[in-house]
Structure 1
Amino acid sequence: MTDPSPLLDVRGLSIRVAGTAEPLVDNVSFTLNAGETLCIVGESGCGKSLTALALMGLLEGTPLRVERGSAMFQGIDLLSAAPDVLRGLRGDRAAMIFQEPMTSLNPALRIGEQIAEAVRAHRDIPRDAARARAAEMLQRVRIPAAGKRLDEYPHQLSGGMRQRVMIAMALANDPALLIADEPTTALDVTIQAQILDLMRNLGAETGTAQIMITHDLGVVAEMADKVAVMYAGRIVEAGTTAQVFDDPQHPYTLGLMSSMPSLAGDQGRLVTIPGSVPSPDDMPRGCRFAARCPFATAQCEAPPPLAPRGTGHAVACWHAPLEDFAVGQRREVPA
């Protein structure tokens, strides 16, 4: 019988820097089922990567700390698990792909050694078997002449090849959860498309659930089953890809959608969102988007809850649905 509980259940995750008034990541909650892809989208500095690092237990040794929350994954709370438990889990049942592979791969070790090391860290197998698994994974991520690439160093590979190596290493132990932090940002558009196609196909083949962190709405539209839009450390809108793209209800989501160029006809000047994301030491206590929002009112001085708007769709805005609020505002304008 299929387990109905989610693979990953994150509730109320908050991350703070000591001495700051407001948390950098505030009350973030979402669920992810086996085989699903969740895209977390937002501007740089909105807390996407911090959320991922907290889930992988990689905030230790930094001034950041998880203030509260839980993240249940296969019976383990990732936010409170002991370091040795997390070490046993990372690279095995849960894996992460980082944005820049050249800073993630060891420049002094051959590619085959690095993948084999990731396998032997979690599997009691001989070196030859681990090397064979490394070659198998390079073939799976469509690296040509995989046997030869095993003995090459990272600097001998292109950016796209290095990212494929990172994907191969992350998937070598068949993880149930894969977190990808901006995996295609440093790549040109052709290689980016190939990497996204590879990740989508591998996810379908292996059933691995994926959290993809990005600021690119094109990537979201292509990859996501579900979307969480983050702004200044809070999720402001969440739902299926169709719900968020077809019926965006948060002013920030609307701004992101309107700033995307289109190939369909002449759309004129792109919309811009005025202002910038508030700094960590000056976070507003109410709606963090209010200073940049065309719909802001006095009510926005209180933080809006992430409230449901139909099955699976939730929005943190006092004025949703925005179309009804905008009509009401027009009616209040004197003739």
Structure 2
Amino acid sequence: MSPATRRPVLTVERFSLKFSRAADLPNLVDDVSFAVHEGETLCIVGESGCGKSVTSLSLMGLLPSPPAIRVSGVARFDERDLFRLTERELADLRGNRLSMIFQEPMTSLNPAYTVGEQIAETIRRHRDVTRAAARAEALDMMKRVRIPAPEARLDMYPHELSGGMRQRVMIAMALANRPRLLIADEPTTALDVTIQAQVLALIRNLQAETGTAMVLITHDLGVVAEVADHVAVMYAGRIVEYGTARELFDDPQHPYTIGLMGAIPSTGKREGALATIAGAVPSPERMPRGCRFAPRCPFAAPRCVDEAPPQRPVGDATDTHRVACWYAPVELHARDAAQQAAA
């Protein structure tokens, strides 16, 4: 199926959220929009504290309200707005057509039950099958996620498995009911590089088999380059750049994206120090009035401080690649600034 004919599984439009009813406090997540299609992977990338996990937990209905307050927006999942579903309706979706892999499996798995029981429980919650059939399916899923000696490990407890094996169990649970959408919140952060590569390859292969759409939350651009079809770069609760993985890696336009790219270590000969981005993500109480990246941006001008830039297409091509920066294309602005400094 070509990208043009794929249906969006999830469409988020102008989603804003805060953790206080105070009118003078800014939105923690502000005007976020994106879509993910069948069989595709959207990576949401950014520093810790930029709103990635809050967005994913909101989509799953896992943020208590209060304190979390949705200010605006819709999240259409198979033509239903996730933000308007009841807790019962969300519970029927979670683990079934909508699944999530969390960052740390040791705190997500129940230490009092074997991993086989927990996978089987996910199956029985959403399908009318016997305990024996659910256990057989749990074993099959453990084989599919390539857990060695699955017959023995089926009756083990989470603490008896390694971190990589526990994460494979979480993947088995998330995919047991062949979900339409998988949200993975930094699923490889706690794993070493070798296991991380194995887990990513496993998710990609299972995704290809099932046609599942995936939203992958990460701060690792190496992971993004490996798995992403589209990328949303998030900073301080806003999406500052959006496009295909090739567009962003070949022609990053937002100064924040450029800074992230410059901080990627190279496997080749080192040519000087890695780039750094001065400062830190602003606290929720002190969000800048205009562009939220302005205090850290080397190109910031008075307009950036006063006005929040809208997302707009890059160049004359399509609107696939969009950036929220007053001075994009940034290379032209940098050239003009250099010429003015030399004059």
Q: Give your verdict on TM over 0.5.
A: yes
1:243 aligns with 2:247: yes
Distance apart, 1:334 and its partner CA: 5.2
Aligned twin of 2:184: 180
Whether the 8 Å CA contact 1:42–1:215 is kept in 2: the answer is: yes
SS in 1 for 2:126: coil
Distance apart, 1:333 and its partner CA: 2.6
1:211 aligns with 2:215: yes
Within a 5 Å distance, the mapping from 1:9-20 to structure 2 comes to: 9-18=11-20, 19=22
User: What's the TM-score, normalizing by structure 1?
Assistant: 0.97
Partner Cα separation in structure 1 for residue 309 and residue 14 of structure 2: 15
Aligned letter for 1:248? P
1:288 aligns with 2:292: yes
Distance apart, 1:62 and its partner CA: 5.1
Distance apart, 1:332 and its partner CA: 2.1
Aligned twin of 1:321: 329
Whether the 8 Å CA contact 2:158–2:166 is kept in 1: the answer is: yes
Name structure 1 gaps, 5 residues minimum.
none
Partner Cα separation in structure 1 for residue 234 and residue 128 of structure 2: 41
Q: Encode CA deviations 1:10-57: one digit per residue, 9 max, x unaligned.
A: 000111011361010000000110000011000000000000001111
SS in 1 for 2:39: coil
Distance apart, 1:150 and its partner CA: 1.1
Aligned twin of 2:312: 307
Whether the 8 Å CA contact 1:59–1:65 is kept in 2: the answer is: no
Name structure 2 gaps, 5 residues minimum.
none
Distance apart, 1:7 and its partner CA: 1.1
Partner Cα separation in structure 1 for residue 203 and residue 181 of structure 2: 13
Within a 5 Å distance, the mapping from 1:39-188 to structure 2 comes to: 39-61=43-65, 63-188=67-192
Distance apart, 1:75 and its partner CA: 1.6
1:21 aligns with 2:25: yes
Distance apart, 1:264 and its partner CA: 2.4
User: What's the TM-score, normalizing by structure 2?
Assistant: 0.95
Partner Cα separation in structure 2 for residue 136 and residue 62 of structure 1: 40
Across the two proteins, how many residue pairs are aligned to each other?
335
SS in 2 for 1:152: coil
SS in 1 for 2:241: strand
Distance apart, 1:275 and its partner CA: 0.5
Aligned letter for 1:146? P
Distance apart, 1:144 and its partner CA: 1.3
Task: After superposing the two structures, state which structure 1 stretch, 44-53 or 322-331, moved more.
Answer: 322-331
Task: Give % identity.
Answer: 62
Partner Cα separation in structure 1 for residue 66 and residue 119 of structure 2: 27
Whether the 8 Å CA contact 2:117–2:135 is kept in 1: the answer is: yes
Partner Cα separation in structure 2 for residue 177 and residue 212 of structure 1: 11
RMSD across aligned positions (CA): 1.3
Runs of 4+, deviation exceeding 4 Å: 1-4
